[in-house]
Chains A and B, each alone.
Chain A
Amino acid sequence: MSDHDLDHVVDELPALLGGELNRRTTGMVTAHLRDCDDCRHALVDLAAASAALHSAARFAPETGTVGAAGSLPDPAGLLSMITGEPPPDPAPRPVDLPPMELSTSDPFAAEPSSAPPSVPSGVAPGLGSPEPPALPVGAGEHRPNARSGGRGRRLRPRLVLSAAAAVIVLAVGAAVVVSSRGSEPAARELALRPVESTVGSGTATLRGDSLRIRADGLPKLDGGRFYQVWLVQGNDRLFAVGLLPPDGRATYQLTRPILDDYSRVEISVEPNDGDPGYSGHSVLRAVYS
């Protein structure tokens, strides 16, 4: 039997274990298994994996997706309670944040001051933008973005992502969520829809200069991977908004010119590989202009 045939039969084994093959194909595959040691060995491996998957799905099904088990108490708060010391606070909390200093030439400076509290320049714009402090971003100020390459290429916004930054962002996640005060600019809520395959849904809400993300049902990521929010224009321009915390909820402070410069919001899966570029693996998308 050729390697191709062997592969083909191995590829049918998950469906065999799952009862998805019809009677005829089941007969063909099982007949092959009787004569092929390699495929029988493969079947043992696949049966072991199938057993683990079935067991997890049956006994711990609620652990498959982000937030499915409910929101956890804040781990930083837990740590504080356990150790009796204040939680590490890598970034100021909202009440400590200085007001955003808008340039007088900024066309949006005269807008109602009900915009969400800003974050300091070392953190802005937005949750999870671990922009080096030397690159402050204020309202009306464009941040350098990736300019080249197609969608499949790794675009490189000037952004340094690291594991430490991811942790910082998680801790800050709740801190950047803003509350409404006074008269607010009108909100525009867009549906976040799965890209290609993926499961999950949510909303992206634009209100003034802020972008609020509510994502549900995204698969839990581990192994250092994380979800990242981007603004995208066409196929070659990206703006790294920030990391999306595990609960799928965050509000990011941006600027009107930046928002106007892009046309859609995307959430991607990014590996923690030290490469700040876009992975090309978007899972949710909303088009706003």
Chain B
Amino acid sequence: MNPAGLQAIGARLAAGEAGALEECYRRLGPMVLGYLRRYVPVADAEDVLQKVFIELWRHTDRYDPNRPLQAWVFDIARKRAIDHLRTRPSGVVSLDGVRELAGEDGDETADRYAWAADLHQALDLLPEPQSQVLRLAYFDHLTQAEIAARLSIPLGTVKTRTARGMQRLAALLEDRGDDR
């Protein structure tokens, strides 16, 4: 994997490199699908997902490599989700859902997902022991004591790995912010 991560994929995408599209799909596809499923009926989410990446590919000329790739992808996903809901028969989808998606909340949620993509990319750059304890703490909601028991390591080791991992994570996320 190119260490430059998503931005490097974005640059290759902008250059029309087909392999970059597939890489982008692998990296962001699951997250985009999760985002779409918040709003679009599950049965339709994969269709919309494909439309998102088709648009991505067809309009790579609109991508600014200086802009975070994930922000662009989720922006497209939000628009395609809105299009999809608007073209569905009335009454099938929640009006509240459409309002949320089309309004500021929808923009906010798309940005949250883009931020989550940033975070996961940064987590993947951490040493495995550090990313492991962070994932267990924040995504599996284990306490430090529970993590220590799960991993059969001292509580102090969990504390150290967590603190070091979060400090490194903060630096990585700040670097990404500076790149924008």
> Which residues does A use to contact B, with CB under 8 Å?
7, 10-15, 18, 20, 42, 45-46, 48-50, 52-57, 59-65, 68-70, 72-73, 75-76, 78-79, 81-83, 163, 170, 196-199, 219-225, 246, 269, 272, 281
Interface of chain B, main secondary structure: helix
Selected from A20, A62, A73, A170, the residue in CB contact (under 8 A) with B50 is A73
Asked if B125 is an interface residue, CB under 8 A from chain A, the answer is yes
Contact partner, B22, options A10, A14, A79, Cβ 8 Å = A79
CB contact under 8 A between A225 and B124, given known A48-B174, A72-B49: yes
B143 at the interface (CB under 8 A from A): yes
Contact of A281 among B30, B128, B141, B153 (CB under 8 A): B128
Q: How far apart are B158's CB and chain A's nearest CB, in angstroms?
A: 9
Q: Taking the complex as formed, is B40 at the interface, i.e. its CB lies under 8 A from any CB of chain A?
A: no
Q: Do the beta carbons of B120 and A269 come within 8 Å of each other? A: no
Give chain B residues whose Cβ lies under 8 Å from the Cβ of A78.
22, 25, 50, 53
Contacting A at CB under 8 A, from B144-164, are 144, 150-153, 156, 159-160, 162-163
Residues of B within 8 A of A197 (CB): 132, 136, 150-153
Which residues in B have their C-beta under 8 angstroms from that of A42?
Answer: 163, 167
A70 touches B33 (CB 8 A): yes
Provide the bound-state CA to CA distance between A223 and B3, in Å. 7
Which residues of chain A have C-beta atoms less than 8 A from B152's C-beta?
A: 196-197
A256 and B30 alpha carbons, distance in the complex (Å): 37
The answer on a CB contact under 8 Å between B1 and A49 is no
A224 touches B1 (CB 8 A): yes
| B144 touching A75, Cβ below 8 Å | no
> Quick check: is B93 within 8 A (CB to CB) of the other chain?
no
Q: Is B57 an interface residue (CB 8 A)?
A: yes
Residue from B21, B109, B119 in contact with A56 in the complex, judged by beta carbons closer than 8 Å: B119
Q: How far is the CA of A82 from the CA of B56 in the complex (A)?
A: 10
Contact indicator B18/A83 (Cβ below 8 Å):
yes
Within 8 A of A (CB), among B1-51: 1, 3, 5, 18, 21-22, 25-27, 29-31, 33-35, 37, 46, 49-50
* Pairwise interchain contact B46-A49, C-beta atoms closer than 8 A: no
Q: Is the CB of B173 within 8 A of A49?
A: yes
Return the chain B residue nearest A58 by Cβ: B112
Instruction: Kindly state the separation between the CA atoms of A110 and B58 in the bound complex, as whole angstroms.
Output: 54
Q: Which chain B residues border A46 with CB–CB below 8 Å? A: 163, 166-167, 170
